[in-house]
């Protein structure tokens, strides 16, 4: 089967930890043909969505881990599946790509994750559909409401709705002398919508990435433990990833959300769980496959390919 991946530039991959690379490697081992394209390679012309796709071969060598053939313009419906694995930020160019992929779906292409699902499930706002699992939270652009939330909860996390990798995430205490400037900075003086959440002390034990594949939880999560002096449990800012079996609460959250997310066409989802609380629902390009596999022996990419092949019949 021909699998097309919409990705960031291949030369930017850190293959020792990249989840898209793990999926590609598993697919190649099963005999599937790999193709790569970037967002700029998507085109709609004459009623058809095309991709300027390069056949991709994995060499098994470092640092030159791949070679590609000359690009060919191919209707997306001609691929067995198209996997949208472009990393955030989820900006308007990302939205435009989902429009093109949705048009391709209408022509018969099989796209994972489903473009409409990616658009509808903002990674911060997704938790609003499952408030039984969330910490006290607020979404607003009004600075005064943020101050009132902080006065009530005394210790909060502030973050933009379109960030990734811990960028522009602040922990703020009620007596912080920089409260006003932090709120002004995060909200852009009331012009940008933000999320505030009560601080969860269990972050010291890790921000757990719980993976859902076709609505089913991977039996292990990756607890991303902040480095000393840091609040953010993001690998991109130096957190340490430790694989652990899911707790009963992790499973309860995953098994509750799984069917709803699968119904939306979201084959692969990454839930962020701190302590007993759901904090984010990641649908663009969830990661942590390689870290979990290396530490536990569980083949996460194999589970992903099993689910993909089942979905494609």
Same domain, 9 and 115: yes
Of 199, 220, 254, which closes a domain? 199
Active site residue 282: yes
Of 183, 199, 215, which closes a domain? 199
When comparing pLDDT for 228 and 107, which is higher?
Answer: 107
- Given a cut of 70, whether residue 258 has pLDDT beyond it is yes
Question: Is the bond preceding 63 in cis, omega lying within 30 degrees of 0?
Answer: yes
Q: Which one from 110, 124, 198, 208 is the annotated catalytic residue?
A: 124
Q: What is the pLDDT of residue 60?
A: 92
| CA dist list (Å): 197 to 21, 87, 119, 162 | 33, 24, 23, 16
Nearest of 207, 215, 196 to residue 257 by alpha carbon: 215
Number of folded domains that form the chain: 3
Q: Which one from 224, 234, 250, 291 is the annotated catalytic residue?
A: 224
Of 94, 119, 144, which closes a domain? 119
Q: Which one from 110, 232, 234, 291 is the annotated catalytic residue?
A: 232
Active site residue 180: no
Active site residue 45: no
Same domain, 19 and 55: yes
Please report, for the domain that includes residue 277, its CATH number: 3.30.470.20
Active site residue 159: yes
Same domain, 147 and 244: no
Task: Name the percent of the chain lying above pLDDT 90.
Answer: 90
Same domain, 175 and 191: yes
User: What is the arithmetic mean of pLDDT over 105-125?
Assistant: 96
Q: Counting Cβ atoms within 10 Å, is residue 19 exposed (0-12), middle (13-18) or buried (19+)?
A: buried
The residue range of the domain holding 211 is 125-129+202-311
Q: What is the pLDDT of residue 208?
A: 97
Same domain, 229 and 190: no
pLDDT digits (tens, 9 = 90+) for 45-74: 999 999 999 999 999 998 899 999 999 999
Q: Which one from 26, 207, 280, 291 is the annotated catalytic residue?
A: 280
Q: Which one from 54, 209, 250, 291 is the annotated catalytic residue?
A: 209
Q: What is the pLDDT of residue 161?
A: 87
Q: Bridge partners of 216?
A: 213
Same domain, 275 and 206: yes
Task: Name the percent of the chain lying above pLDDT 70.
Answer: 99
Q: Strands 194-198 and 155-160: what pairing?
A: antiparallel
Please report, for the domain that includes residue 100, its CATH number: 3.40.50.20
Task: Please give the Cα distance from 257 to 260 (Å, whole number).
Answer: 6
**Could you please report the per-residue DSSP string of 149-202?**
HHHHHSEEEEEETT--TTTT-EEEETT-TTHHHHHHHHHTTTTS-EEEEE--GG
Q: Quick check: 45 and 13 in contact, CB under 8 A?
A: no
Q: What is the pLDDT of residue 229?
A: 79
pLDDT digits (tens, 9 = 90+) for 142-195: 999 999 999 999 999 999 988 776 678 999 999 999 999 999 999 999 999 999
Same domain, 21 and 115: yes
| CA dist list (Å): 131 to 3, 135, 136, 153, 265 | 37, 8, 9, 17, 22
Same domain, 218 and 302: yes
- Given a cut of 90, whether residue 299 has pLDDT beyond it is yes
Same domain, 174 and 218: no
Active site residue 224: yes
Same domain, 207 and 195: no
Pair of tokens at residue 246: 């899911």
Q: What is the pLDDT of residue 174?
A: 94
Same domain, 150 and 108: no
Same domain, 85 and 141: no
Q: Quick check: 237 and 82 in contact, CB under 8 A?
A: no
């Amino acid at each position: 089967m021909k699998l097309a991946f919409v990705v960031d530039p291949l030369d930017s991959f850190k293959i020792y930890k990249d989840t898209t690379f793990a999926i590609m490697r598993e697919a190649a081992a099963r005999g599937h043909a790999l193709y790569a394209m970037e967002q700029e390679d998507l085109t709609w012309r004459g009623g058809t969505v095309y991709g300027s796709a390069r056949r991709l071969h994995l060499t098994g060598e470092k640092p030159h881990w791949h070679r590609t053939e000359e690009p060919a313009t191919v209707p997306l419906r001609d691929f067995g599946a198209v996997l949208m694995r472009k990393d955030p930020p989820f900006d308007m160019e990302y939205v435009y790509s989902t429009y093109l992929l949705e048009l391709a779906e209408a022509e018969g292409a099989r796209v994972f994750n489903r473009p409409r699902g990616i658009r509808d499930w903002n990674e911060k706002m997704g938790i609003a559909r499952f408030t039984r699992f969330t910490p006290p939270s607020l979404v607003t652009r009004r600075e005064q409401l943020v101050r009132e939330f902080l006065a009530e909860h005394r210790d909060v996390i502030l973050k933009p709705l379109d960030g990734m990798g811990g960028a522009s995430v602040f922990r703020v205490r009620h007596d912080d002398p920089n409260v006003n400037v932090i709120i002004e900075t995060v909200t852009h003086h009331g012009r940008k919508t933000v999320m505030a959440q009560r601080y969860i002390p269990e972050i010291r034990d890790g921000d757990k990435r719980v993976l859902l594949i076709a609505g089913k939880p991977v039996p292990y999560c990756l607890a991303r433990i902040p480095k000393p002096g840091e609040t953010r449990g993001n690998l991109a800012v130096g957190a340490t990833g430790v694989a652990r079996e899911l707790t009963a609460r992790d499973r309860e959250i995953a098994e509750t959300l799984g069917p709803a997310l699968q119904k939306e066409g979201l084959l692969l989802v990454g839930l962020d769980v701190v302590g007993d609380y759901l904090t984010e629902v990641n649908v663009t390009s969830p990661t942590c496959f390689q870290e979990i596999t290396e530490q536990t022996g569980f083949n996460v990419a194999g589970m992903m390919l099993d689910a993909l092949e089942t979905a494609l019949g």
